[in-house]
Amino acid sequence: MSKNNIKEWELIIDKIPLRGSWNMAVDDYLFRSLDKNVHTYLRFYRWEKPTISLGYGQKVGRVVDVDYCLENGIDIVRRITGGKLVLHHKEVTYSVCSSDKEIFTSNLDDSYKLISEALMKGLEKMGLHPYLADSPPISYIRGNLPCFSYPAHNEVKINEKKIIGSAQKRMGSKFIQHGSIPLEDNEHQLKSVSFLDGKDESVRMISVSQAFGKKVSFEVLVKFLIKGIADYFRVSFKEKVFDTNEKEIIKKIQNERYDNPAWTYLKK
C-alpha cells in the first residue's frame, strides 16, 4: 500500500482523568456518530477515581458490592458493551469505534482478535511478550466473576495472566470496542468490590508495571500502543478535538443515561 493510500483515523487522548459517566458518554457518542461514511476513532482515557463498569446486561446485586462502593467512594457505571465487571482506576482505557469493514470485517470475533493483536504489537514494542488467550472455562462464561478472573477467548495474556480485558458492541456495519489495561495492581480492591473476599477464587491479572518490572505511566504506554496500532493496521492519525456542539451532546448523553440510576441499576 502506498503512503498516499494509508487510511487516517481520528485520535483522542484524554490526558486528564475524567468521571466514569463522562467517559462512557464519550464512547457512546462516538459510536452513535458513525454514519454511512467509513470512519474510525481511536481513544485513550483514564478515570478520576476508582469506578466499576458493568456489562450491559449484568444485574448489579449479583456482581458488585454496592454498599462497599458507597462506603469507599467508588463510582458505578454501566457500559453499552457486554462483558463482565471491571474495576477501573490506575490504567489506560482504550476504545476503537469504526464502520470500516475493509479493515475490521463485519464479524465480531474477527475484529476483536484484530484489535487484540494490534494492542499486542504495542506491548511488544515495550519489550513485553504478550499472546492471545484460549477459551475460558464454561463456569466463568456463565457465572458472575469479574472480567479479570479469567482471560476470555482472544484476550491478551502475559505470563498466563490477563493484561487486557475488552468488550464490544456491534450494530450493522459499525462497532465499538473498549477495554482496560491496568498500569498498577488493584487485585485487593477488585476482590472487595466483587464479593471475592474470603472466597477460594483467584484473580488472574497482571498490570503493565508488574510485567515490565518497573512503573509505567499512562503517557508512556499510550505512546507505545499508538505505534503498535499504526504499524499493525498501517494507518496514520489526526487529532480529534470535540467542538462546543459535540460537548453539549455528550453532556446530554451523560445526564440522560450514565448519571441516571435507571440505566445504571436497570430500574424500570
C-alpha cell of residue 133: 488467550
C-alpha cell of residue 124: 511488544
User: Residue 182: phi, psi to the nearest 5?
Assistant: -60, 135
C-alpha cell of residue 92: 489506560
Q: Into which CATH architecture does domain 3-264 fall? A: 2-Layer Sandwich (3.30)
Q: Between these two residues, 44 and 1, which has the higher pLDDT value?
A: 44
Q: For cell 476504545, name the residue.
A: 95
Among 81-95, 181-195, 236-250, which stretch is predicted with the lowest mean pLDDT?
181-195
**pLDDT per position as a tens digit, 62-121:** 899 999 999 999 999 999 999 999 999 999 999 999 999 889 977 788 899 999 999 999
Helix axes 108-125 and 218-233, enclosed angle (nearest 10): 120
Band (pLDDT 50/70/90 cuts) for residue 194 is confident
C-alpha separations of 205 from 18, 52, 86, 258 in Å: 24, 16, 12, 27
Residues marked as catalytic? 147
DSSP type of residue 69? H
- Reference 250, options 34, 97, 21, 17; nearest CA is 21
> Domain extents for the chain?
3-264
CA distance 263 to 268: 9
Q: Are 173 and 108 in contact (CB under 8 A)?
A: no
6, pLDDT greater than 60: yes
**pLDDT per position as a tens digit, 73-88:** 999 999 999 999 999 9
C-alpha separations of 149 from 144, 159, 221, 255 in Å: 10, 15, 23, 32
